[in-house]
Amino acid sequence: MKNILFSLAFWALMVLSQFTTPVWAAPTNTSDLAFQMNAQMGRGLNILSADPVWRDPAKARMTEKHFAQIKAAGYGNVRIAIHPFGHVIDQKTFALDPQLFTTLDWAVKEALKNHLIPIVDFHEHHAMGNDPLGKKAMFLAMWKQIAEHGKDYPPEMLFEICNEPNMKPEIWNELQEAARQVIRESNPHRTLIIGTINGNGITFLKDLKLPADDQNIIVAIHYYSPIQFTHQGAPWSKNNKDLKDIHWTGTEAQQRAVMADFDVAQKWSQENHRPLTLGEFGAYETGAMKDRQLWTDFIARQAEQRGWSWSYWQFDSDFIAYDIDHDHWVKPIQDALIPPAKTH
Ligand code: GLC
C-alpha cells in the first residue's frame, strides 16, 4: 500500500512538474536545496558596492543593460552589496529609508529577469567590526525589515547575513544566529549565506557554529592571498599600500599555497556537509595585468574544481571586470573568469 501511495505521489509530482517551470528541481531536503542553489549560482560578480544609484537613481553607473550583459557573458549570480547603516531615517527604531528598498528591488528584479541569482549582501563590515555588540540591536532591526520586505521574492533570491564579520568568533556566532532567527520568522525557506570571521577567512571555518536543524545555508569564504600581491598599492590596505612589483606567475609553490588553503576549506565543507561559496576574490589594478589574469584564472578554476560557486570582486569601481566608462569588458580579467570556448 505504502508503495502504491508513494508511486502515485511520485507520478502526481512528475505530471505537475510538466506544468510548472521551476528554475531548480524540487529538492528532497533543505541540505540538497542549499547544494542545488550553490550549483545554480555558479560563476558571479559583486555589483553595486560603490554605485551612486543608492543615493540618486538618476546617477546610476550600472543600468539595466549591464545585467543582460552579465548574463550573456556566462554568469549565474550577482552579489549585491548594500550599506544599510547609511540609510537610517529614525535612530530610535532604525527604520530604513524606503529609497534603499526601491533601489534594492530594482537590482533584484533586474537580476531575476536575467536569470541571475541575486545575493543581498549586508556589507557593513567596518562598522560591525568596530563595535559588534553595540551594533547588535541596529543590525537585527535592519535584518527584520530587509527580511520582511523580501519575503515574497522567489527562492532564488539569497540573503547574506554579513560581509567579512571581523570580530571574535563567539560574538559572530551570537550575532549570526540571532540574525538567522530574525530572518527565519519571515523567510523560513530562503537559502542563507553565512561567512567566517576575519575577512571571511578559510582558517576560521572551524570557529563557525551553525545549527544542525537548519541545513538551508551556504557558507562564504573570501580569498585574497597572497595579500601582498592582490593588495599591492591599494590605498586602504595599511600593510600593502606602499608595495609594488609583487608578482604572481603561477609557480608550483604559488599554486600549491592556494591549493593547500582551498583543501582546508574543502575538508571542512565535506566533514560538515555544508556547501561553500567563494564570495569575493580579486587582485587590485596596481598589479601587473598578466599576473592578475593568471591568478584570477587559477583561483576561479580551483574553486570550480571543488564544486564551489564564486563571485568575483567586482564588476565596477575597482578590481573591475567591466569598464563602464568605455563600455566594454576588461578582457584579460573576463577571459580569466570565464575562459572563452576553445576553437579548433
Ligand atoms: C574586502 C571587502 C570589500 C573590499 C575588498 C578589497 O574584503 O569586502 O569591501 O573593497 O575586499 O579589499
pLDDT in tens, the chain (344 residues): 444 444 444 344 433 433 333 344 445 566 699 999 999 999 999 999 999 999 999 999 999 999 999 999 999 999 999 999 999 999 999 999 999 999 999 999 999 999 999 999 999 999 999 999 999 999 999 999 999 999 999 999 999 999 999 999 999 999 999 999 999 999 999 999 999 999 999 999 999 999 999 999 999 999 999 999 999 999 999 999 999 999 999 999 999 999 999 999 999 999 999 999 999 999 999 999 999 999 999 999 999 999 999 999 999 999 999 999 999 999 999 999 999 987 76
pTM listed for this prediction: 0.92
Q: Which of 280, 299, 311, 317 to mutate to test the pocket of ligand 1 (most atoms within 8 A of CB)?
A: 280
Q: Could you tell me if the CB of 269 is within 6 A of ligand 1?
A: no
208: cell is 563557525
| Closest C-alpha to 122, from 95, 173, 84 | 84
Would you state the pLDDT for residue 28? 56
Q: Could you tell me if the CB of 35 is within 6 A of ligand 1?
A: no
222: cell is 573570501
| Closest C-alpha to 192, from 183, 201, 200 | 183
Q: Which of 45, 46, 82, 164 to mutate to test the pocket of ligand 1 (most atoms within 8 A of CB)?
A: 164
Q: Which of 229, 313, 314, 318 to mutate to test the pocket of ligand 1 (most atoms within 8 A of CB)?
A: 313
Q: Could you tell me if the CB of 280 is within 6 A of ligand 1?
A: yes
Q: Could you tell me if the CB of 201 is within 6 A of ligand 1?
A: no
Cβ contact 97:87 at 8 Å: yes
Cβ contact 219:196 at 8 Å: yes
Q: Could you tell me if the CB of 164 is within 6 A of ligand 1?
A: yes
Task: Report in angstroms the alpha-carbon separations of 94 from 121, 127, 160, 185, 324.
Answer: 18, 15, 19, 19, 34
Q: Residue 319: CA atoms inside 13 Å, Cβ hemisphere, count?
A: 25
Strand partners, 143: none
